Structure 1
């Protein structure tokens, strides 16, 4: 499959986008820190609502501001991507209002929380370091919270901290984007996005292992 644009055009969009939305990048980091802090504190009775609200805002922003307004002129398929992101934002918004009672963001026993925290750290710090090392420059490439791939990695990291059967509906679109983003990353050689493939795989393994552990009726 050939992309309708090249590497230089792809990063030129990010350069224009990052300049246009400044300083929302800082707001995105603040929102992400607020969500993670609500989980790590373990004291907020509203932590699920907080986290789902933050995720809804980030996915809506990525769908409308990046995919629809900036990326779709370069790639018309981005209108479909925008629809996926807005749909996921709406789902998170619904969960923020009427979250199933069994859902809890917490540092429970098992490997999933460790993997989740590692992915959160990757999306917020390691991802940007790899981008700078690749020569993209801090403001010329995808950034945490305002670009689809690091935002999806962050989301998957949070989903790994979430327990309950209702995690599955929240995971469908992130896994779909992990597949789409990984394919584009391979063609464009955006190495920091290779972590998206690992995040998607870890989430699938987590969901599968949780399903296998449940009593089968």
Structure 2
């Protein structure tokens, strides 16, 4: 059993969305920029993408979990810490160490990545509206946990190996936590979250293993 009702969850979302407006617009703009950087490759493209993902995780951890979700669920203190930690890891690996590289690919992992990114940014809100949860009574791209996680998995599937396994741990944990809660709360657009980690992590690991084998052969 969850420590809050579905009505309380939706009311908390309304309060959050109304309280942070128009940050949602900026978040969507950052998401579009991240996608554009996969094709338009300026010198700092990889660092910019990593920075955008880090901002989304840090914002969601602090603004959503700590400042709003804690009002109905004290476990959000822990959830927020996980999101802040993921944002810090992304910033360290991608910005400080410059060890997170992205590139275009036509393999199976990239195709799934396209699907995840498209779902998080476009299909996710449309499905929410179709099922009767229009704005502001809906999780919004870039500023709430589930679409941020799906979007991040999408970009990890575009990442060039090696990809640090530390980057995968927290998104995978949240895919199980948030995805399970989606069924209890009746948020169908979040159902994909439950399988996103199970699908994305093996594909990322397989790409990493394949790169290691290629390195051995050469």
TM-score after normalising by structure 2: 0.93
Q: Which whole-Å deviations, capped at 9, do the CAs of 1:147-179 have from their partners, x for residues lacking one? A: 100011001101100011234221111111101
Corresponding residue of 1:6: 5
Quote the residue 1:34 is aligned against.
33
Aligned to 1:187: 184
Aligned mates of 1:9, 1:171 — CA distance in 2: 31
Distance 1:187 1:170 in 2: 27
> Quick check: 1:168–1:207 contact (8 Å CA) kept in 2?
no
Q: How many angstroms does 1:31 deviate by?
A: 0.7
Provide Cα deviations, 1:167-212, integer angstroms capped at 9, x if missing partner. 4221111111101111101111210001112321221221342354
Asked if the contact 2:124–2:147 (Cα under 8 Å) also holds between the matched residues in 1, the reply is: yes
Matches within 5 A, 1:89-168: 89-94=87-92, 95-100=94-99, 103-168=100-165
Is the Cα–Cα contact under 8 Å of residues 61 and 82 in structure 2 kept in the other structure? Answer: yes
Number of the residue aligned with 1:23: 22
Alignment-derived partner of residue 203 in structure 1: 200
Q: Note the residue ranges of structure 2 that are not aligned, 5 or more in a row.
A: none
SS in structure 1 at match of 2:71 = coil
Distance between the aligned counterparts of 1:46 and 1:197, measured in 2?
33
Distance 2:71 2:139 in 1: 17
* CA RMSD of superposed structures (Å): 1.5
Equivalent-residue separation in structure 2 for 1:26 and 1:211 (angstroms): 35
Match of 2:62 among 35, 39, 64: 64
Q: How many residues align structurally? A: 213
List gaps (5 residues or longer) in structure 1.
none
8 Å CA contact 1:131–1:192 kept in 2: the answer is yes
Distance 1:44 1:212 in 2: 28
1:98-120, Cα deviation, whole Å (9 max, x unpaired): 122xx421112311111111111
Q: Residue 130 of structure 1 contacts residue 192 of structure 1 at CA under 8 Å; is this kept in 2?
A: yes
Which 4+ residue blocks in structure 1 deviate beyond 4 angstroms?
Answer: none
